[in-house]
Amino acid sequence: MQIFGVDIGGSGIKGAPVDLERGDLAQERHKVLTPHPATPEGVADGVKQVIDHFADARPDRVGITFPGVVTGGATVRTAANVDKSWIDVDARALLSKKLGGLPVTVLNDADAAGVAEMHFGAGRGRKGTVLLLTFGTGIGSALFSEGVLVPNTELGHLELNGHDAEKHASTKAREDHDLSWEQWAHRVQKYLAHVEMLCSPELFIIGGGISRKAHKFLPLIKGIKAEIVPAELQNNAGIVGAAMAASRA
């Protein structure tokens, strides 16, 4: 069975067929830019472009991540970094129709990344409380207790300095404000300290594209009691986790 994973982000939509035995991409991923405004129809077209790129590997099932709360594997409840017209949309029905009736599974993007990291990556075999945080256009979160996901935590929207934390400490915030690695690490440190106070994790896994550059900022973060490690699947974790969700549906 050919399972695809597609990861919808605030800046890009990327996907590939996934080898679920290895927990890795079966082919090099394809990426298109997220349309602006990122309306349901526009984003669905982007997802179709990604799938159609792999003309030699027609999927049997597709797992798709969404940057917001998704309930019941279908209904979008929040849309911080895409168009607000997504709210209350049945994303599963919309995307399945766009893909010609293919079976589709939809879940929160950070939750998908977390599931992949807990099974194949930095969280493999870890018990207790583990928190994966994805830093990108926003900050996504996936919370695990004894290996079990607590879905849709959305801890990037905690208040920090009077604003959503992701407005202060996301990768986009670093780029928008032209912050040095030291300056950005200080913001991330404040955010991690706040989350640690609330959740007391034994392990933080830092994901998203920025995980490829973990050596530039993780050593600068001080005073956090929990272990902090970069995601092993890096920015492919969401794709792999989406495919895992589709295979289990």
Query: What is the pLDDT, as a whole number, of residue 58?
Result: 87
Helix (H, G, I), strand (E, B) or coil at 113: helix
pLDDT in tens, 102-115: 999 999 999 999 99
Residues of each domain in the chain carrying CATH 3.30.420.40: 3-111+237-248, 125-231
The distance from CA 215 to its chain's CA centroid, rounded to whole angstroms, is 21
Residue 43 has pLDDT above 90, yes or no: yes
Dist CA 158 CA 4 (whole Å)? 32
pLDDT band at 57 (very low <50, low <70, confident <90, very high): confident
At position 167, the amino acid (one-letter code) is: K
Residue 249 has pLDDT above 90, yes or no: no
Mean pLDDT of 127-139: 96
Higher pLDDT, 97 or 249: 97
Dist CA 240 CA 98 (whole Å)? 21
Domain 125-231 in CATH 3.30.420.40: yes
CATH code that applies to domain 3-111+237-248: 3.30.420.40
Mean pLDDT of 211-218: 97
Task: Report the predicted TM-score, pTM, of the whole model to 2 decimal places.
Answer: 0.96
- % pLDDT > 70, the chain: 100
Q: Other CB atoms closer than 10 Å to residue 128's CB: what's the count?
A: 13
- % pLDDT > 90, the chain: 95
